[in-house]
Amino acid sequence: MGRVFGTDGVRGTVGSDPMTVDFAMRLASAAGRVLAPDGGSVAVGKDTRISGYMFEAALEAGFVAAGVDVKLLQVMPTPGIAYLTRVLGADLGVVISASHNRYDDNGIKFFDRHGSKLDDSVQQQIEALIDEPPVTRESSRLGRAERRYDAVDRYIGFCKQSTPEPLDLSGMRLVVDGANGATYKIAPRVFADLGADVVTIACSPNGKNINDGCGSTAPNVLQSTVKALEADLGIAFDGDGDRVMMVDHTGAVVDGDQLLFAIVGSRLASGGLHGPVVGTVMSNLGLEKALEGLGVGFHRAAVGDRNVLASLRKNGGILGGETSGHILCLDRTTTGDGIVAAIQVLEAIKRSGQPLASLVAGMARFPQRLVNVQVVPGFDHTGSARVAEALQAVERALGGEGRVVLRASGTEPVIRVMVEGRNESVVADFAEQLAGAVREAAEAETAG
């Protein structure tokens, strides 16, 4: 992470540094000078947070003053902004969103002209200018701003065409949970246009209810609705639409690892799989074992879809993702796209004639326990002998039938402790033991 940019752009509590109007204007000015120094244009979109309008106005002012034309896409999923950045010929794309966080958080992230996340070197160039006041060009060199009212229809058309053959969902009843976020209007239209009978929940945003007891991080209502309506499946997005989780006809949650497995199986059957599949250090060991059984290579990247993308490009793969539902289908689009990923799963269901529960039955999930340990900012668990000793003890006990991951969060002062193995109670005990060692080490450093 850099001084300003975290694992996925800039994020924080609205009104606190860095999520202030002043910062947004300086960020736009710096980004414009780095990515569009001779003018050019930027595509700007947002999710449904009430603060999005404020940051949209600040970014617009910063870019226009720096001589950059602004294409305002309004409420649009993050992957839709990536797509429209490319097709509209913009020099960069900007997303105003804090993804799956509460409404009182917000964030700003960027795409390059190809619809991909910025390289670290480019982010460093922007950071080098961030403390300078916004520039204002002479009047003849100021940018222009326009609202693109065709943005929604163009992105919907792209999603519907993300399969090699037209997809017919006639006869399927789908429950769509829009998380009261950026997909609230677009996702139901996509699936309805493809012929599905669509029932919506959490598709009535009011600026403050995004991700509030709904969406991919809170699928309880979706589960009960799918069962009550005897729907074929449920589809849940996060606030900015780059994640997807599903619920099968029995009401069971199907996570990103399982969805990735279903897509891989379909690509194998059609001969459309190339290169290894890429997950992260947090991907379930069951996915790795299941892909091994299919003869498919599997690589692990650091957490974050930009790291998955980098590994896919390096190793010549086309499919990758995270347990949280970030799924990349590089033969379809350039970034994680919840709607496009959902369509790939629906295509697999239609092609196989099997329900979702059957498609993912070949992947047995290993029990996994994740404990988040609050620490003081700056605490480095890798330098603690106490933590190292506890880690070695757990790894020895698990042998080759489990995994341990310790990593610092990229967005908050938390050490994430994950233990995975075949026995759920053993996994839970080991996770608590290791978390206790991290707490003790953090407290000892604070006391010292």
Residues taking part in catalysis = 99
Spell 339-373 as b/e; 16+ CB within 10 A means b. bbbbbbbbbbbbeeeeebeebbeebebbbbbebeb
Return the ∠ at Cα 99 (arms to 98 and 104), rounded to 5°.
40
Q: Which residues contact 15 (CB under 8 A, 6 or more apart)?
A: none
Q: Answer yes or no: are the C-beta atoms of 444 and 386 closer than 8 Å.
A: yes
3-state DSSP call for residue 93?
strand
Q: Answer yes or no: are the C-beta atoms of 246 and 236 closer than 8 Å.
A: yes
d(CA 183, CA 75): 8
d(CA 341, CA 244): 7
3-state DSSP call for residue 381?
helix
d(CA 39, CA 10): 24
Give the relative orientation of helices 256-270 and 285-293 as an angle to the nearest 10 degrees.
10
Q: Which residues contact 42 (CB under 8 A, 6 or more apart)?
A: 31, 32, 35, 36, 63, 68, 69, 70, 71, 90, 91, 92, 93, 94
- Tokens representing 76? 């649009």
The CA-atom distances, in angstroms, between 206 and each of 24, 49, 51, 166, 181 are: 23, 8, 12, 35, 9
What stretch of H or E contains 126? helix 120-129
Q: Answer yes or no: are the C-beta atoms of 21 and 106 closer than 8 Å.
A: no
- Tokens representing 155? 């992105």
Return the ∠ at Cα 112 (arms to 106 and 116), rounded to 5°.
85
Q: What residue spans of 366-409 are helical by DSSP H?
A: 385-398
